[in-house]
Structures are given as structure tokens and as C-alpha cells.
Amino acid sequence: MANRWPPSPEQFIEAWQSSSSVREVATKLNMTTNQVRTRAWRYRERGIPLKEIPRPDPPDWPALATLAATLAP
């Protein structure tokens, strides 16, 4: 990707459509994940048919709490 800032609409669409996660888009375009999500939302509001990128599964908080408790001194 080019180093142009802000990324052009064409650069954004190309990065979005060729990525498997929001984080990947953000890395390609030197943006935050919140900037990427907001831009994707705005493009969809204007009729741009961006593919759906699933959100990652949330952490298993109970398992993490158990892990932390077993590692506590």
C-alpha cells in the first residue's frame, strides 16, 4: 500500500476487500482499528458493498480468571 495519508477511498476499499481482519486493514493503512471500523460504516451507509469481516471471539473471562488465580503468589 502507498504511504499516502489519509488513504484514498480506493486504497481503503482494496485493503478492506483483501483482508481477513480489521486489524489487518489497520496495519496496511497505518490506521487505528476504530478509524477502520468507522470508515467501513460510513462507506456502507453510502452504499459501498464492503464484505463482512467477523469480529474476533471475545476472551474466555472465567478461564483467564482461573489462570490468573493459579499463577498468583
Cβ atoms of residues 40 and 9 within 8 Å? no
Residues 6 or more apart in contact with residue 28 via CB below 8 angstroms: 1, 15, 19
Q: Is the torsion defined by CA of 11, 12, 13, 15 positive or negative?
A: positive
The reported pLDDT for the residue numbered 69 is 96
* Domain layout of the chain by residue ranges: 9-71
Summarize pLDDT for 1-43 with one digit per residue, the tens.
446 779 999 999 999 999 999 999 999 999 999 999 999 999 9
What is the pTM for the complete model shown?
Answer: 0.75
Residue carrying the nine cell digits 480506493: 10
Q: How far is it, in rounded angstroms, from Cα 50 to Cα 4?
A: 21
